Amino acid sequence: MDNTDGIRKELNFRQLGGIRVTDGRTVRQNVLYRSGGLHLMNAQELEIIKQLKIKTVLDLRDRWSQKRKPDPDIGAARVVYDGMPANGGESIDFSAAGFGQKGDAALVQLEKVRQYYLNMPYGYQALHAMFDALRKGAAPFLVHCTKGKDRTGLACILILLALGADEETALQDYLRSNEYRETEIQNRLSEGRTIAPEDEGYMTLMYLREGVREQLGRDILANIRRRSGTIERYMSEEYGWDAADLNEYRNHYLE
């Protein structure tokens, strides 16, 4: 049950409810949501969102994007953090021009983007604010960015891993953005084929403007495993959570 009736699919709005974790429990229905930008929703879609009685919203867009196109009021509290991008984000051109580079420049851009997302689970204040809110029971909870696929996708990987989901389960939720945004992906690739169809780096950037790549998701998971070993150790070293904190979190969001 995704509560998506009446919301355009490309907005990538859905919930984590029903996802099964390794101890056999499932994520509670109607408590953890993810989405693209709320500023992109029309009045009818926002009314549907309001009916969900979401208590807390985390906007992962940087503070300049938040100021330029603020979230509409849906009657929820906002998770407060510094609004800064994760480490490395300041060196990446996320504009259409940045993701329209070709040749060697496209390959450099792809590696910058890859490293950015690999490092995002570490030292990113927004994620610290997110887990602090979740530990305090800030649900129903909604996390979003602009298209609900990259920053939001990574945040939901971490939410699910901390709940006890295995890596493959977390990855499959990450990849569902491609199902929701299939039309946008294909339209963008069609555009790319009219410009530089033989440039693999360029075409990959065009894909990443609208979707996510499985290999990047796997690389993110592998990097967490390499740096932290287990999700328990990651949650301890990054957020200061002990076994009791994890158990309380899981009991609150699982059934």
Rounded distance between C-alpha atoms, residue 199 and residue 201, angstroms: 6
Within-domain flag for 2: no
Q: Does residue 198 lie within any of the structural domains?
A: yes
Domain count, the chain: 1
Task: Quote the mean pLDDT of the chain.
Answer: 96
pLDDT over threshold 90, residue 107: yes
Going by C-alpha positions, the residue among 86, 243, 96, 250 that lies closest to residue 161 is: 250
In a domain, 4, yes or no: no
pLDDT of residue 226: 97
193 in a structural domain: yes
In a domain? residue 3: no
| Domain assignment present for 165 | yes
Residues 205-226 have pLDDT tens digits of 999 999 999 999 999 999 999 9
| Structural domain span for residue 114 | 9-253
Q: pTM (2 decimals)?
A: 0.96
- Tell me: pLDDT of 1 over 50: no
CB atoms within 10 A of CB 152: 26
Kind and range of the H or E run holding 82: none
Q: Is the pLDDT of residue 160 over 70?
A: yes
- The CATH number covering residue 202 comes to 3.90.190.10
Residue 1 lies inside a defined structural domain of this protein:
no
Give the tens place of pLDDT for each residue, 161-187.
999 999 999 999 999 999 999 999 999
Distance CA 29, CA 18 (A): 6
Q: 177 in a domain, yes or no? A: yes
